[in-house]
Amino acid sequence: MQKGGFNFDLYQRNVELIEKNNYKVPKTTKTGTTIVGVVFSDGVVLGADTRATSGPIVADPNCEKIHKISDYIWCAGAGTAADTENTTGMISLQLELLSLSTGRSPRVRTALTLLKNFLFRYHGYISAALVLGGVDFTGPHLHMIHPHGSTSTLPYISMGSGSLAAMAVLETGYNSKMGEEDAKSLVHQAILSGILNDLGSGGNVDLCVIKHKSMEFFRNVDTTNSKRKFRKKLPYMFKSGSTKILEKEIEEKMRKMEIVNEKESQIEELEEL
Amino acid sequence: METYLGEKQQASQWSPYINNGGSCLAVAGDDFAVIASDTRMSLGYSIKTRYSTKYLKITEKCSIVSSGMQADIFTLHKVLKSRAQIYEQKHGKPMSTDAVAKLVSRLLYYRRFFPYYTFNIVAGIDDEGVGCVFSYDAIGTLERVKYSASGSGSSLIEPVLDNQVALKNRNDIKKEDFKLTKEYAIDLVKDAITSAGERDIYTGDFVEISVIDINGTHEEKFELRFD
């Protein structure tokens, strides 16, 4: 009788495994993260770092955290990587269908409502903290969405493990009369602050500037922190034979191709129709 | 404390130990030893300082690097330094590397029931002029080895050393034909700790690397990523 949502059948078994059998819970890939959004005179600037962590290890040193919801509505995500990707992906689909059926270009507040209602239904189990920003026909908008489903509308926002480092920069540098270049530079500095001071954030800076009917995505706009500083001159050389060959099995490719004549004629019939 | 679903929640208890992260490694050759450690000190997701030394030169022929809790590293190094000085003044000569290794082991075991949260590696030149590396656990188990890595990046570094120094899982080169030169070892150590800095969030900022041979100790410092 369960109609979608999460399946909790294994919950009790998992709890027992952890307590009695000393089972180690597998780590999820989190996006540690520093994400930032700032409203300026003509639009919104979103920024994010590019490090995805799995515990203390960097799983992806250059991932993309700014997701497209629609052409001029973008969303930066912090928290569990799978959750942010799938949540933003789903809402992007829903928004497209909605805008096609209503015949109107999508609004940021619609994406906001879809996201917050979705996350609230899961009571925080979907660990997605989002910074939603965009420009629609009603103007520029910037919102923050917490995993439990609460939202805030603010002129500048930071989320993720590096949010404190970023917010320190935003609070110092923000003013309500900023232009595009100032806003871009502020977001850049805020993300850099997160990258340098927070261990869960790192890699490159990604920026996204959204104005009326215009979107510019600056992927890896700043890569000064992700350069490897030392590399051995002599490369690691493994001559052939380093790995012991225990068994050899060679399959002839031709054997796998089977030309079925019947199927060809079926296709011809369909084409005639 | 039981929740409504019946599972028990463990109340988090105060612990005297914290982990400040960081990685250390050492490699021994026929007549030299290379020892290195990063200098980042972290707590949780924050960086407390980008430069906090984990390395101590005990004698011209012997050094130690430690990872773990900075407070215990600092104290252990302080005690070790003073004990080495006392020995030198009493016996009129500096401590041999073997003696230092044994001393570290005893100092650690002395605290068997409230250990130093330190994972140490001692490296240097022994009395015959041969490079040596000693690795320890928190309570002083002593083992002489050819190379060792400890700390948060140890699981990233050790397999590289296994393959490149001990030639494990390699059928293209035989142990008899392989000579570990000083330049090769230095490059390998630098490369290994740089690679650890790429993938371990607790390793980064700066590296203190020192080469110990018959002529003494040569210390160097280089940069890692700051993110």
Residues B169-196 have pLDDT tens digits of 888 888 888 999 999 999 999 999 999 9
pLDDT band at A167 (very low <50, low <70, confident <90, very high): very high
**Among residues of chain B, what percentage have pLDDT more than 70?**
96
Q: Residue A257: what pLDDT?
A: 64
- Report the alpha-carbon distance of residue A170 to residue A244 in Å, rounded: 57
Contact A58 B198 (CB under 8 A): yes
- Report the alpha-carbon distance of residue B209 to residue A143 in Å, rounded: 48
Using CA coordinates, name the residue in chain B closest to A32. B45
- Tokens matching residue A99: 């805008």
- Please indicate whether residue A243 is annotated as part of the active site: no
Section A193-218 average pLDDT: 96
Looking at the predicted structure, is the pLDDT value of residue A81 above 60? yes
CB B160 within 8 A of CB B100: no
Contact B198 A232 (CB under 8 A): no
Q: Is B44 helix (H, G, I), strand (E, B) or coil?
A: coil
**B chain contacts of residue A234, beta-carbon cutoff 8 Å:** 184, 187
pLDDT band at A234 (very low <50, low <70, confident <90, very high): confident
Interface size A-B, in CB pairs within 8 Å, comes to 88
- Tokens matching residue A51: 């490090």
pLDDT band at A10 (very low <50, low <70, confident <90, very high): confident
Looking at the predicted structure, is the pLDDT value of residue A2 above 60? no
pLDDT band at A237 (very low <50, low <70, confident <90, very high): confident
Q: Residue A225: what pLDDT?
A: 86
Considering only residues A153 and A55, tell me which one the structure prediction assigns the higher pLDDT: A153
pTM of the model: 0.86
Q: Residue A19: what pLDDT?
A: 85
- Report the alpha-carbon distance of residue A74 to residue A159 in Å, rounded: 15
- Report the alpha-carbon distance of residue B62 to residue B131 in Å, rounded: 10
- Give pLDDT tens digits for B19-36: 999 999 999 999 999 999
- Give pLDDT tens digits for B39-49: 999 999 999 99
pLDDT band at B11 (very low <50, low <70, confident <90, very high): confident
Selecting from B7, B8, B190 the residue whose C-beta is nearest the C-beta of A230 gives B190
Query: Of the ranges A99-103, A259-263, B9-13, which is most confident?
Result: A99-103
Q: Residue A266: what pLDDT?
A: 57
- Burial class of residue A173, CB neighbours in 10 A (0-12, 13-18, 19+): middle
Selecting from A15, A61, A199 the residue whose C-beta is nearest the C-beta of B47 gives A199
How distant is the alpha carbon of residue B185 from its chain centre? Answer: 16
- Give pLDDT tens digits for B64-112: 999 999 999 999 999 999 999 999 999 999 999 999 999 999 999 999 9
- Give pLDDT tens digits for B111-138: 999 999 999 999 999 999 999 999 999 9
Among A228, A29, A58, A34, which Cα is nearest to A131's?
A: A34
- Give pLDDT tens digits for A17-64: 888 878 887 777 665 899 999 999 999 999 999 999 998 999 999 999
Task: Kindly list the distances between the CA atom of residue B96 and the CA atoms of B87, B92, B152, in Å, as whole numbers in the listed order.
Answer: 10, 12, 30
Which of A53, A197, A230, A240 would you mutate first to test chain B, the one with the most B CBs within 10 A? A230
Q: Residue B175: what pLDDT?
A: 85
Which of A10, A199, A220 would you mutate first to test chain B, the one with the most B CBs within 10 A? A199
Q: Residue A61: what pLDDT?
A: 94
